[in-house]
Amino acid sequence: MKNIAVSVNSISLKFGSHTALCNVSFQIEEGSFITVVGPNGGGKSTLLKAILGLIQVDSGNISIFGKEPKSVKRTDIGYVPQIKTLDRSFPALPIELVSTGILGFWPQKINKELKEKSMLALEKVGASHLSERPLSKLSGGELQRIYLARSIARHPKLLILDEPATGIDFASENDLNRLIDKYKVENNATIIMVTHDWEAAFHHADFVLMLNCTQICYAPPKIAFEEKTLRRAFGHIGHEHEMIFGVKGND
Amino acid sequence: MIEIFSLPFIQRAAIAGILIGFVTSYYGVFIVQRKLSFLGSGLAHSAFGGAALGLLLETEPLWVALPFTVIISILIVYLKEKSKLSGDTSVGILFSVAVALGIIFLSLKKGYTNDAFTYLFGSILSVQKIDLIFSSFLALLSVGTFFSQWKKWAYATFDVELAQADKISVLKDEYILSILISVTIVISIKVVGIVLLTAFLVIPAATARLISSTFFQMTIYSIIIGIVSSFVGLVASIQLDLPTGAVIILIQAIFFIISLFFSRK
């Protein structure tokens, strides 16, 4: 039996009177790929922040590799945030951003050893040619590769991605998903990815967590994407999804 | 021109200008990049409330302005964290209250209140030895933070969430940075004045941003521009017999305009 990488036990969280998460429980085995899907405002990003230890839950508990989130070694977790939060006016080069993944702080100077490690990470995501291009001049897809390079530069056992496909084209998204799969296989890493792309969630994940503040289901993709589950999570099913799952849409 | 530097008050002014040019332009990069220009202005005006209280109590105004401004800076961070208000709104509320208090303190003081205007416009040529000691101490402290804190401050300036995920205590660091900025502002007031202080915090950093491709570069360029413009401005103001603070800001503005032509978009 595989070890448990992440254990979430009956967590609930409120922001004022708004319930962000209600009684969410699941366990992730080491080396598994989990996608988290659900409607906007359904608590997906909040869940990731709770797992990262950025916010405290009101009740329940979370354990990462057997420890509380705040006690987990920094290098055990790689985090790819939503690029829409990026401040493009910040003067920075991709190689600096990647080196923060190794150092855990912003570098003043990049020495030879740090440069080699950062370049290696950039090569793994096919972005070594972008190392000296200002962040402000990168496309969404290029930026996501840089963020992925940053998070894998530290060789994390757990990789957490928050909507990595937002704002990038279809080809870039496919490339990104391929790179994530490759990292998972080569490092037996555990992946948690929030996504709005049901097709990616269906094809890449071992398990799908469907959230709408409460936990709708935590199951293999074929079960998670059944019509009744989708209707419980989203209230409706778009026509475009009929092609993916053969589930007839109603809007 | 060299002879003027044999005069002790000019020597003190030159040293004070360089030290204040250094510290304001150093903290300025965080103020500009975190979009907190209003914080600098707000804290400078808050210091007016403290200085006015000092005048009312008939003690050294800056001794009162220092804790007064530090408390305001802590309250700004606290209010921003604990309420749903934006940083700008927190600054707007607290600095208005501080200025209102300052006006009341001055109105309560019987007799002549012209001293208050010294703090509004500053006077680099009237800098005393004690001012230089404080400025030197602040400059040394700032050099220390450049080696110990800059890496964490820069990371949180880029992305608070990433820094937190990497176990950096962002909130504690924000309090430290905010307190150091308020100390910088109070110590700079006598030299620069409340009205012109925002320019010292913003223009060198904004100029450096235009010509920098990394945040480290921006920090170094900002410091160089801050120091050079203070020194050149001081010399030019003596030669032209014009107010020093205002001339320094015009020199900073010239640097800014030149940088626009070399701007990295």
User: What are A97-107's pLDDT values in tens digits?
Assistant: 999 999 999 99
Contact B166, A105 (CB under 8 A): yes
Paired strand residues for B34: none
Report pLDDT for A203.
Answer: 83
pLDDT tens for B168-208 read 999 999 999 999 999 999 999 888 888 889 999 999 999 99
| Whole-number average pLDDT of chain B | 90
- Here the tokens at position A56 are 């405290």
**Which residues, 6+ apart, have CB-to-CB distance to A64 below 8 Å?**
A5, A6, A51, A72, A76, A77, A158
Q: Which residues pair with A6 in a beta bridge?
A: A28, A64
B2-258 maps to which CATH number? 1.10.3470.10
Nearest-angstrom CA–CA distance, A245 and A227: 9
Q: Residues B22-54: pLDDT tens digits?
A: 999 999 999 999 988 888 888 988 888 888 898
What's the rounded mean pLDDT across residues B237-255? 92
The string of pLDDT tens digits covering residues B86-133 is 778 888 888 889 889 988 988 888 766 666 677 777 888 888 888 899
pLDDT value, residue B249 = 93
Mean pLDDT on B245-265: 90
Question: Given a cut of 50, is residue A251 above it in pLDDT?
Answer: no
Amino acid identity of residue B230, one-letter, is S
Mutating which of B29, B35, B158 best tests the A interface, going by the most A Cβ atoms within 10 A?
B158
Instruction: Answer left, alpha or beta for residue A194, where phi above 0 means left and psi between -120 and 50 means alpha.
Output: beta
d(CA B182, CA A208): 50
**CATH number of the CATH domain containing A210:** 3.40.50.300
Within a domain: A121: yes
The residues near A140 (Cβ < 8 Å, ≥ 6 apart) are A83, A166, A167, A168, A169, A172
pLDDT higher than 80, residue A170: no
Which residues constitute the domain of residue A81? 4-245
Q: Return d(Cα B264, Cα B245) in angstroms, integer.
A: 29
A250 belongs to a structural domain: no
CA angle B211, B216, B221 (to 5 degrees): 45
Q: What is the tens place of the pLDDT at every residue in A58-102?
A: 999 999 999 999 889 999 999 999 877 778 889 999 999 999 999
Across B138-165, average pLDDT: 96
The predicted model gives B138-163 an average pLDDT of: 96
pLDDT of A245 reads 58
| Domain assignment of residue A48, yes or no | yes
Q: Distance between CA atoms of B12 and B125, rounded to whole angstroms?
A: 8
Question: With helix as H, strand as E and coil as C, how does B189-200 read?
Answer: HHHHCHHHHHHH
Question: Is residue A231 assigned to a domain?
Answer: yes
Residue B154: its chain A contacts at CB < 8 A?
105-106
Q: Indicate the domain borders of chain B.
A: 2-258
Confirm if B198 and A132 have CB atoms less than 8 A apart.
Answer: no
Distance CA B121, CA B191 (A): 8
Residues 6 or more apart whose CB falls under 8 angstroms from that of A187 comprise: A155, A157
By the 8 A CB rule, do B92 and B42 touch?
Answer: yes
B152 in reach of chain A (CB within 8 A): yes
- Determine contact: B9 vs chain A, CB below 8 A: no
CA B230 – CA B200 distance, rounded (Å): 9
Does some domain include residue A80? yes
pTM: 0.89
User: Which of B209, B216, B264 is nearest residue A108 as measured by Cβ atoms?
Assistant: B216
Can you give the pLDDT at residue A148? 92
CA distance A119 to chain B (A): 17
Residue A23 lies in a domain: yes
Residue B4 has pLDDT above 80, yes or no: no
pLDDT for the residue A244:
58
Domain count within chain A: 1
pLDDT beyond 90 at B70: yes
pLDDT value of position B123: 81
- Segment A141-153, tens digit of pLDDT: 888 889 999 999 9
What pLDDT, on the 0 to 100 scale, is given for residue B172? 94
Q: Helix, strand or coil for residue B134?
A: helix
